[in-house]
Chain A
Amino acid sequence: MSKPYQYLDLAAVRAHLGSSRGRDYWRSLEELAESEGFQDMLEREFPRQAAEWTNDTAGRRHFLKVMGASMALAGLGACTRQPIETIMPYVRQPEEVIPGKPLFFATAVPVAGIATGVLVESHMGRPTKVEGNPEHPASLGATDAIAQASVLDLYDPDRSQTLTYLGDIRPWSSFLGAAREALNAQIPKGGAGLRFLTGAITSPSLADQFRTLLAKYPAAKWHCYEPAGRYAQLAAARQAFGQPVNTYYRLASADVILALDSDFLCTGPTSVRYAADFASRRSVRGNQIAMSRFYAVESTATPTGAKADHRLPVRAADVEAFAAAVASSVAASGAAGSQTATGPHAAFIAALVKDLAQHRGTSVVIPGEYQSTAVHVLAHAINAALGNVGKTVVYTDPLDPNPVDDFESLRELGQDMDAGKVEMLVIAGGNPVYNAPADFGFTQRMSKVKLRIHMGLYADETSEFCQWHIPEAHFLETWSDARAYDGTITIMQPLIQPLYFGRSVHEMLAAFGETPSQSPYDIVKGYWNRQHPGADFEDWWRKAVHDGIVPNTALPAKTVALKTGAVTPPRPVEGQGIEIVFRPDPHVFDGRFANNGWLQELPKPLTKLTWDNAALVSPATAERLKLQNEDLVDLEYRGRKVRAPIWILPGHANDSVTVHLGYGRTRAGRVGNRAGFDAYALRTSDAPWFGSGLAIRKAGSKFTLASTQMHYDMMGRQIVISGTVEEYRKDPHFVKERAEEPPKELSLYPGYKYEGYAWGMAIDQTACVGCNACVVACQAENNIAVVGKDQVQKMRAMHWLRIDTYHKGSPDNPETYFQPLPCMQCENAPCELVCPVQATSHSSEGLNDMVYNRCVGTRYCANNCPYKVRRFNFFLYSDWNTPSLKLQRNPDVSVRSRGVMEKCTYCVQRISEAKIEAEKEDRTLKDGEVQTACQGVCPTQAIVFGDINDSSSRVAKLKAEQLNYSLLAELNTRPRTTYLAALRNPNPEIEKA
Chain B
Amino acid sequence: MSDERRNPVIAPGHTFATVTDKISAIVLTRKTPTHWLIPFAVASTLLMVFLWAVTYLFVRGVGIYGVKIPVGWGWDITNFVWWIGIGHAGTLISAILLLLHQTWRNSINRFAEAMTLFAVACAGMYPVLHLGRPWLFYWLFPYPNTMGIQPQFRSPLVWDVFAVSTYATVSLLFWYVGLIPDLATLRDRAKNHAARIIYGILAMGWRGAASHWQKYETASLLLAGIATPLVISVHTVVSFDFTVGIVPGWHSTIFPPYFVAGAIYSGFAMVLVLAIPLRAMYGLADMITPRHLDNCAKVMLATALIVAYSYVFEAFIAWYSGNPFEMYAIWNRMTGPYWPQYWLLIFCNLIFPQVLWLRKIRTSAFWLFIVSIDVLVGMWLERYVIIVVSLHRDFLPAAWGMYSGSIWDKATFLGTIGLFFFLFFLFIRSLPVISIFEVRTLLPEADVTEGVEK
Contact = CB atoms under 8 A, between A and B. Distances in A.
A710 B157 contact: no
A7 interface: no
A624 to B, nearest CB: 26
Interface string B389-428: 0010011111111100000000000000000000000000
B61 interface: yes
B73 to A, nearest CB: 6
A58 interface: no
Interface in B318-334: 324-325, 328
Contacts of A297: none
A845 interface: no
Question: What secondary structure prevails in chain A residues at the interface with B?
Answer: loop
A856 B151 CA distance: 12
A712 to B, nearest CB: 7
A834 B137 contact: no
Interface string A851-870: 00011111110111011101
A873 B68 CA distance: 10
A359 interface: no
Contact of A838 (B132, B149, B245, B401): B149
Contacts of A837: 139-140, 151-152
Nearest to A795: B68
Given A804-B396, A898-B132, A834 B72 contact: no
Given A858-B157, A868-B399, A870-B69, A838 B151 contact: yes
B396 A868 contact: yes
Given A854-B139, A856-B139, A856-B140, A968 B395 contact: yes
A716 interface: yes
- Which among A717, A796, A834 has the highest number of chain B CB atoms within 10 Å? A834
A833 B244 contact: yes
A856 B66 CA distance: 18
B246 interface: yes
Interface in B127-174: 130-134, 136-137, 139-140, 149-152, 154-158, 161
A858 B137 CA distance: 10
A868 B185 CA distance: 59
B302 interface: no
A331 B324 CA distance: 53
B155 A860 contact: yes
Nearest to B161: A836
Interface in B28-72: 60-63, 66-70, 72
B69 A856 contact: no
Q: How large is the interface on A (under 10, 10 to 19, 20 to 34, 35 or more residues)?
A: 35 or more
B133 A855 contact: yes
A880 interface: no
Contacts of A805: 398
Interface string A705-720: 0000111111111010
Contact of B133 (A796, A836, A857, A871): A857
Nearest to A841: B152
B26 interface: no
Contacts of B344: none
Given A795-B70, A872-B72, A856 B63 contact: no
Contact of A836 (B60, B69, B152, B328): B152
Contact of A855 (B61, B132, B155, B325): B132
Interface residues of B, number: 48
A863 B397 contact: no
A795 B158 CA distance: 28
B221 interface: no
Given A855-B132, A857-B132, A864-B246, A875 B61 contact: yes
Contact of B396 (A855, A866, A873): A866
B157 A860 contact: yes
Contact of B397 (A714, A864, A867): A714
Contacts of A63: none
A650 to B, nearest CB: 14
Contacts of A854: 139, 149
Given A710-B401, A866-B246, A716 B62 contact: no
Interface string A223-234: 000000000000
A802 B400 CA distance: 14
B142 to A, nearest CB: 11
B247 A836 contact: no
B131 A971 contact: no
A668 interface: no
A874 B401 contact: no
A899 B400 CA distance: 22
Nearest to B393: A711
B324 to A, nearest CB: 7
Contacts of B401: 710, 795
A967 to B, nearest CB: 8
B61 A876 contact: yes
Contacts of A866: 246-247, 394-396
Interface string A862-899: 11101110111111100000000000000000000011
Given A714-B397, A717-B325, A795-B401, 11 more contacts: A709-B398, A821-B398, A836-B140, A837-B152, A856-B132, A868-B394, A873-B132, A874-B62, A898-B61, A899-B132, A971-B395
Interface of B: 60-63, 66-70, 72-73, 130-134, 136-137, 139-140, 149-152, 154-158, 161, 241, 244-247, 324-325, 328, 391, 394-402
10 contacts: A710-B402, A830-B245, A833-B244, A837-B139, A857-B132, A858-B132, A873-B132, A875-B60, A899-B62, A901-B132
Closest 5 CB pairs of A and B: A857-B132, A899-B132, A874-B63, A859-B72, A804-B398
